[in-house]
Amino acid sequence: MSDEFESVEKSLQKHLPEHELVEVRRILYGKQLRTLELPEDAVQEATRKDFELAGYGFDAEREEVRSPRVVRVGAIQNKIVIPTDAPVLEQIESLHKRITEIIAVGAKCGVNIICMQEAWTMPFAFCTREKHPWCQFAESAEEGPTTKLLQELAKKYNMVIISPILERDDNHGEILANTAVVISNTGAYLGKSRKNHIPRVGDFNESTYYMEGNTGHRVFQTQFGKIAINICYGRHHPPNWMMYGVNGAEIVFNPSATVGGLSEPMWPIEARNAAIANSYFTCAINRVGTEVFPNEFSSADGKPAHKDFGHFYGSSYVAGPDGSRTPGLSRTRDGLLVAEMDLNLCRQVKDRWGFRMTQRLDMYARELSEAIKPDYVPDVVKEK
């Protein structure tokens, strides 16, 4: 891993003269965000547990008619802890332990809503196409051991927890789903939201394991704001982001698992574009490290079979509705990114830019309804 580049932001910070750094930052990252002062015991604990801890604040104007609605969001990125050929229950336990440690630091930092990476209780094994043993990582969204553990933590820390797991749905034919479970800060199970768009790209046809989500674009009203979850590949689909906004989301989480060779130049673009286009905050979370699997597999790219498919580049970040964004977490280390945000900024940006007013949803409802017809003829102008 030591040959992996650590981060763009650190490179700019190190080499650019101060006055150019200010301009480059403004153009690439938007309005300079406040750096959060995080509690000393949290910082020490993160060092002891060997993960990066960083915090930034998005401010909003003071309003006369609403009080500020300041919340702290936590994004966790992490490597798997033990090898992928260890017993399934031990792998799950090792990740439970690791995430419990990181959530505890989040609690010290006053985090109100925390989210883990996609399928966080397991290695991202879908590249193997093997059903055994990976399907055994699936569990009930409503009452699986992972949900139970997090319900305790949620209540203990008064924290909303978003837990993206591989779900086993016993009520519907024991199918699998790629699902984010939302647990209220009271400890109650609040609901679940499934991955709407399933990749067939690179190493993945995830429909080997689960199909397109059927939970639509629901939004969860929590004590700390209205949140939604757009899982991984859904970030490539702007209407997916849009519908969460239409339903009123103020923060949309994008728990992901994606590697450098495939998607890295797209990563800083997509979740941030969604924040801009929909006047809400987005929180892009990617796992980190290289996962080596027991059996070799091929990648349909003419290359020899191999046991890993590349480096998960982390780089988790939070983007604001005003075009600003935090630096990314490291490309190589576990990390917790804490973002403080005044949710009033969402409506303020709506009032300023007016995208919701000018978006002409009626036109798109009409045009899409036409476009999906089997006999649709695109509007193409040709020279006579």
Give catalytic residue positions.
Answer: 118, 195, 232
- 305 vs 363 by CB, closer to a copy of itself: 363
Helix-helix angle 267-278:238-246, to 10 degrees: 30
Strand partners, 73: 113, 339
- 66 vs 352 by CB, closer to a copy of itself: 352
d(Cα 131, Cα 141) in Å, to the nearest integer? Answer: 20
Q: In whole angstroms, how close is the CB of 264 to a copy of itself at the nearest point?
A: 6
> In degrees, to the nearest 5, what angle opens at C-alpha 184 toward C-alphas 181 and 190?
50
d(Cα 253, Cα 163) in Å, to the nearest integer? Answer: 11
Residues 229-288 that bind a copy of itself (CB under 8 A): 233, 236-239, 241-243, 246-248, 263-270, 272-273, 276-277
324 binds a copy of itself per the rule CB under 8 A: yes
Residues 339-358 that bind a copy of itself (CB under 8 A): 352-355, 357-358
> How many residues sit in the footprint of a copy of itself (CB under 8 A)?
88
3 binds a copy of itself per the rule CB under 8 A: no
CB proximity list for 316: less than 8 A, separation 6 or greater: 75, 77, 283, 284, 285, 286, 328, 329, 335, 337
**Which residue, among 39, 157, 169, has the nearest Cα to 100 in the 3D structure?**
157
Q: Report whether the peptide linkage leading into residue 123 is cis, meaning its omega lies within 30 degrees of zero.
A: no
Q: Which stretch binds a copy of itself (CB under 8 A): 29-37, 71-79, 87-95, 169-177?
A: 29-37
182 binds a copy of itself per the rule CB under 8 A: yes
39 binds a copy of itself per the rule CB under 8 A: no
> In degrees, to the nearest 5, what angle opens at C-alpha 26 toward C-alphas 25 and 27?
90
Residues 57-116 that bind a copy of itself (CB under 8 A): none
- 146 vs 278 by CB, closer to a copy of itself: 278
Q: Which stretch binds a copy of itself (CB under 8 A): 121-129, 145-153, 339-347, 376-384?
A: 376-384
CA-derived radius of gyration, the chain: 21
Q: In whole angstroms, how close is the CB of 91 to a copy of itself at the nearest point?
A: 29
Residues 285-314 that bind a copy of itself (CB under 8 A): none
